[in-house]
Amino acid sequence: MLLEARKLFEILKGDQRISSLGEYPEKIERLTLDSRTAVPGSCYIAIKGNVADGQNFIDSAIEKGAVAVVCEEMPDHIRPGIFYLMVKDARKSAAWLAHEFYDHPSGKMKVVGVTGTNGKTTVATLLYQLYSVLGHTCGLISTVENLIADKVIPATHTTPDAIAIASLMEEMRSNGCSHVFMEVSSHALDQQRTVGIDFKAAIFTNITHDHLDYHKTFLAYIQAKKLFFDGLHESATAIINADDRNGKTMVQNCRAKVLTYGLHSMADFRCRILSDDINGLHLRVNDKEAICRMSGAFNAYNISAALATACAMGEEEEMVLSLLSGLNGAEGRMDKVADPVKERTGIVDYAHTPDALENVLTTIKASARQGQKIITVVGCGGDRDVTKRPLMAEIAARYSDTAVFTSDNPRSEDPEAILDQMLAGVQADQMGRCLRISDRLMAIKTAVMMATKGDIILVAGKGHEKYQEIKGRKLPFDDKKVLSELFSGHA
């Protein structure tokens, strides 16, 4: 896409713009945050990241053809014929530039964002499925995958960078999408990746223990989430979980209309669980009942959030609830694997926080029959929040007949050191029910060998992921596939 450069950069006037050097180029052909992808006629935006500083790659971008540079500090060496623009916040500038470059595609669709510790993927996926069933062409931006109608675009981040989002949204618009449903992570909010998106609705699911490796404090984590609601236009709608004490905090000073949902508090969409087991939920929302395929109180919240959002966007409540009852939600969330021979049940779930793991295990335990054992295989990711490791191990040990602690994505860390930190949370009287097997394949095999007729095996932490990240390499690994092969005797 070509755009007159002067018009593009005009949007950064005012308090964003500090100074410029050089003449405007005639056209900008591409925006890039990576010097390696610069092409002739491109604009390189130098962002200071957690690992690398984009300032250090300005010359490299110019050598590859960049004709304009947006940066927070003027480089020592100024190249003739290059336009330099110094701004206060390169991340925010990248977002504004990207949406201007792609002619503001989000304003031409109904964009709904979902934020929270748990439930983002499920709520966004439910809404994508719902509106697809309603006959709309939809886009999905999620942890599992990005979708344009039925076209799959692999996801690398929960929320892509600002330029990738704007480009993806323009592709969605050009392919006829009327609605886009996206996850909005705290990292993305803190890093200004969602600036410039015209959200019609914003959903808050909950906040629990996670991402303290990045945010450092729980308060900073909450404040990052609140940025989403602070930026909403008065014509938008904020949909919040009334049962989460941080819900009201999210919408303090929010200009948007506020709707609430919940299971325990007074709410615009009050949900009551009539029955719940691993086969599904029987719900009453306000005065309407539905039997749903999804299990667990956490999914009752997710269904209620989706219902409230659809109604806020003009859909009829009874019809929406009926359609939601037939949907399955996201891959790798309470994903069941049947063993028809020995009548064992495998469950693969993305639960990688203490709250999510406890939610899944309490759901399984509540529906387990007498004599039916629960065997949990779980690990914790490397290079991530270390404070949740002992908490997750204690939860697994408390709710399981046997807990098998193993590797998740150890990344650059020693898997055995991660297991040491996890096991520090297990009480002495629980140790007899715990095993430690760092090899994830062997851990799952062991759980399957231990399981007898009717038992339930939960494999938690990785869900939809088809890889294991070890020492900088992503090695093929699919929990659901492994379970299926072991049940069939092919592994």
Looking at the predicted structure, is the pLDDT value of residue 159 above 90? no
What would the CATH number be for the domain defined by 3-101?
A: 3.40.1390.10
Query: What pLDDT digit, counting tens, does each position of 108-151 carry?
Result: 999 999 999 889 999 999 999 999 999 999 999 998 889 999 89
Looking at the predicted structure, is the pLDDT value of residue 483 above 60? yes
Rounded to an integer, the average pLDDT of 186-197 is 90
Structure tokens at 339: 């063993």
Looking at the predicted structure, is the pLDDT value of residue 7 above 90? no
Question: pLDDT value at position 157?
Answer: 65
Report the distance separating Cα 247 and Cα 377, nearest Å. 32
Looking at the predicted structure, is the pLDDT value of residue 2 above 90? no
Question: pLDDT value at position 1?
Answer: 47
Looking at the predicted structure, is the pLDDT value of residue 362 above 90? yes
Rounded to an integer, the average pLDDT of 393-419 is 97
Report the distance separating Cα 176 and Cα 179, nearest Å. 9
Higher pLDDT, 13 or 364: 364
Task: Indicate where the chain has its CATH 3.40.1190.10 domain(s).
Answer: 105-324
Task: Indicate where the chain has its CATH 3.40.1390.10 domain(s).
Answer: 3-101
What pTM does this model have?
0.89
Conformation bin of residue 182: beta by default, left when phi > 0, alpha when psi is -120 to 50: beta
| Buried/exposed code over 447-466 (b: 16+ C-beta within 10 A; e: otherwise) | bbeebeeebbbbbbbbbbbe
Question: pLDDT value at position 219?
Answer: 83
Looking at the predicted structure, is the pLDDT value of residue 279 above 90? no
Question: pLDDT value at position 490?
Answer: 55
Query: What pLDDT digit, counting tens, does each position of 39-90 carry?
Result: 999 999 999 887 789 999 999 999 999 999 999 999 999 999 999 999 999 9
Angle, CA of 145, 142 and 96, to the nearest 5°: 115
pLDDT bin (cut points 50, 70, 90) of residue 468 is very high
Report the distance separating Cα 201 and Cα 256, nearest Å. 9
- Specify the fold of 335-488: Protein-Tyrosine Phosphatase; Chain A (3.90.190)
pLDDT bin (cut points 50, 70, 90) of residue 413 is very high
Q: What is the average pLDDT score of the chain?
A: 93
Query: What pLDDT digit, counting tens, does each position of 376-402 carry?
Result: 999 999 999 899 999 999 999 999 999
Contacts (Cβ under 8 Å, ≥6 apart) of 164: none
Looking at the predicted structure, is the pLDDT value of residue 210 above 60? no
pLDDT bin (cut points 50, 70, 90) of residue 14 is low
Q: What CATH superfamily classification does 105-324 receive? A: Mur-like, catalytic domain (3.40.1190.10)
